Amino acid sequence: IKFHGVDIVLDLPAHPVLVAGERDELVEVFENLIENGCKYGQDGKRVDVALSGGTGGTPVEVSVKDYGPGIPPEHVPRITERFYRVNVEASRSKKGTGLGLAIAKHILTRHKARLVVRSEVGKGTVFTVKF
């Protein structure tokens, strides 16, 4: 799958994975995370999406990893705040509103899920949703 010239590589289990929740809201979360990976990690030309768990009572996790410039550590704690932007100019040029991650976090909180962010400058970012 390609989006914004970026390859989206899926690592999905052969079996269905079910989570309780509002389908449309969860779709919005993952669309946002994948689109952000493609827009802001565009230089890396690849975004990996992995789904694990859900069998035998194991927690479900979905990770979205980009290979872009990464997020400086001082910004990571704030990126889910409304209108917060790591780089205002870059965000505007990519038509970002500064609301996507705040909305995603809000939806995940309502679903009793967590959003974990790991990033390293120059090596990309991984957003992991833990149900």
- 50-65 pLDDT, tens digit per residue, is 999 988 888 999 999 9
Question: How does the average pLDDT of the chain come out, rounded?
Answer: 89
Strands 61-66 and 46-52, sheet pairing: antiparallel
Q: Residue 94 pLDDT more than 80?
A: no
Tell me, yes or no, if the pTM score tops 0.75: yes
Predicted pLDDT of residue 88: 53
The helix/strand/coil state of 114 is strand
Q: Which residues pair with 3 in a beta bridge?
A: 6
Nearest C-alpha neighbor of 98 from the set 114, 115, 78 = 78
Match 């995370």 to its residue by tokens: 33
- 61 contacts: CB under 8 Å, gap ≥ 6: 50, 51, 52, 53, 128, 129, 130, 131
